[in-house]
Amino acid sequence: MYFEQFYLGCLAHASYMLASEGEAVVVDPQRDVDIYLKAAAEHGVKIRHIFETHLHADFVSGHLELASRTGAKIYIGARAGATFEHVAVSDGFELRAGKALIKVLETPGHTPESICLVIMDEEKSPNPWAVLTGDTLFLGDVGRPDLSKTHSSTRLAGLLYDSLHTKLLKLADDVLVYPAHGAGSLCGRNMRAERSSTIGTERLTNYALQIKSREEFVRQVTSNLPARPEYFLQDAEINRGGAAPLSELPELPPISARELKSLLDEGVIALDVRPCEQFAAAHVPGAVNIALSGQFASWAGTVLGLSARPVLIAESPEQVSEARLRLARVGIEDARGFLEGGIEGWKQAGLALAETPQMTVQDLNEKLRTRQSRVLDVRREPEWQAGHIEDAAWWPLDNFKVSPPEIDRDAPIAVHCKSGYRSMIACSLLQRAGFRNVTNVVGGFDAWQQAKLPVEVERPVAV
């Protein structure tokens, strides 16, 4: 049996292909599906089946396009209410692809329609070899239970406990575990960075599987959840009906510097996808920086929303194309265009550029000691609780879509996150909102700790 994991780092998303005797199955495909077609051609197999473990909320799936291009059937949990042509599956459903056998386990909890797929490689053994757990069981964590419009988080958490203990934990310890997400995904809270595990390892090390009481499990998995981005429910609805092929997206038009200036005056968002250092040195005034180097699409969906129609600012046509693809992966499809000539085009039009000052953690420590600046921490709550700078204000970047922090817009503010990526996003949003004295802290809290500067631990009080 051929088996391959495809890991998309910018979304911390894992999808899978398995094949036997020329017949292939794809599980939880990303939106751009050429990678599966290429892999199938390289291994001389035909994609005949596509499984969705649930209606994904954090990205737009490519199941419909992949089915259209291959003739494959799509299989999804019977409770999904999917409106595209599909096979509704429930407990006991089996699919054979050559000598590979897939058995469906209904595992509601992350969502009502969640399923897991138990894989048997009958060339080697009649016993289960692996389980594809979707967002039900992660490495070191379980799926968050608050993404449903029809079920309360408490009800789903109870169902999740039942699914884990009556279905997944009944599998043998040596069964491999392959989830749909890894560290960094907002579909859980604290996933490990490895790409696979075993039932036995998770039984011993996963905090959620150590909780014996159903009541205590519900309490723990429903508390201190990271903020749910607004676009999650929208993506789930897109996936319920199936997204249009990427090939149907129109070409992005070039937009002149003068035209962009007029659009900015009207409130249009300019999205600068260049590295943080380049943005800090020179950028279009009012532009938002979300660098392609990090979890670009997730943060674009979180702080801009799916209805945003940004003008892209990039270094090259390749960067524009990459940004557009990543935006489409989370459902931002209607970008207005891109700045013709990039920053050089803006300069050549004689228009002013803005800067974002940066400082080291040593500079920050001195300014805090002499009370010359206030510090704003934009990390998530678990990060803050693990340690933060004394007297820092706390306003996680996830909250910026709702409102900026309630602090003096004229006061000096030093912004930090873990390493500097999120803090530059926050700085650009603050500058766009009219904050006049914002500085990014280079290296973030990691650099602060490496410099052995003082750290405080306590529960946060948001500003």
Distance (Å, whole) CA 398 – CA 130: 35
How much is the average pLDDT of 272-296? 97
Q: Hey, do 2-241 and 358-450 end up sharing a CATH topology, with the first three levels equal?
A: no
* Mean of all residue pLDDT scores within the chain: 96
- pLDDT recorded at residue 226: 80
Q: If you average pLDDT over residues 406-429, what whole number do you get? A: 96
Domain map (residue ranges) of the chain: 2-241, 249-348, 358-450
Give yes or no for residue 356 having a pLDDT over 70.
yes
CB atoms within 10 A of CB 452: 7
What tens digit of pLDDT does each residue of 168-184 get? Answer: 999 999 999 999 999 98
Distances in whole angstroms, Cα of residue 228 to Cα of each of 167, 268, 306, 377, 380? 27, 25, 14, 19, 12
155 exposed, middle or buried (CB, 10 Å; 0-12, 13-18, 19+)?
middle
Q: Check residue 292 and give its pLDDT.
A: 96
> Over the stretch 108-125, which tens digit does the pLDDT of each residue have?
999 999 999 999 999 999
Neighbours of 362 (CB within 10 A): 12
Which superfamily is assigned to 358-450 in CATH? Answer: Rhodanese-like domain (3.40.250.10)
Q: What is the mean pLDDT of residues 367-395?
A: 94
Active site residue 417: yes
Rg, Å, the chain Cα set: 23
Beta-carbon contacts of residue 213 (< 8 Å; ≥ 6 apart): none
Per-residue pLDDT band at 65 (split at 50, 70, 90): very high
Q: What is this structure's pTM?
A: 0.93
For the segment 414-443, the average pLDDT, to the nearest whole number, is: 97
Q: Per-residue pLDDT for 7 more than 80? A: yes
Q: Are 131 and 199 in contact (CB under 8 A)?
A: yes
Tokens 């948001």 locate to 462
The hierarchical CATH code for the domain 2-241 is 3.60.15.10
pLDDT greater than 80 at residue 463: no
**Looking at residue 462, what is its pLDDT?**
55
The predicted pLDDT at position 190 comes to 82
For residue 459, what pLDDT band results from cuts at 50, 70 and 90?
low
What residues have CB less than 8 Å from 34, skipping those under 6 apart?
A: none
In the set 116, 187, 276, 417, the catalytic residue is: 417
pLDDT at 19: 98
pLDDT in tens, 18-63: 999 999 999 999 999 999 999 999 999 999 999 999 999 999 999 9
Q: What is the CATH number of domain 249-348?
A: 3.40.250.10
Residues 323-345 pLDDT 10s: 999 999 999 999 999 999 999 99
Q: What is the pLDDT of residue 403?
A: 86
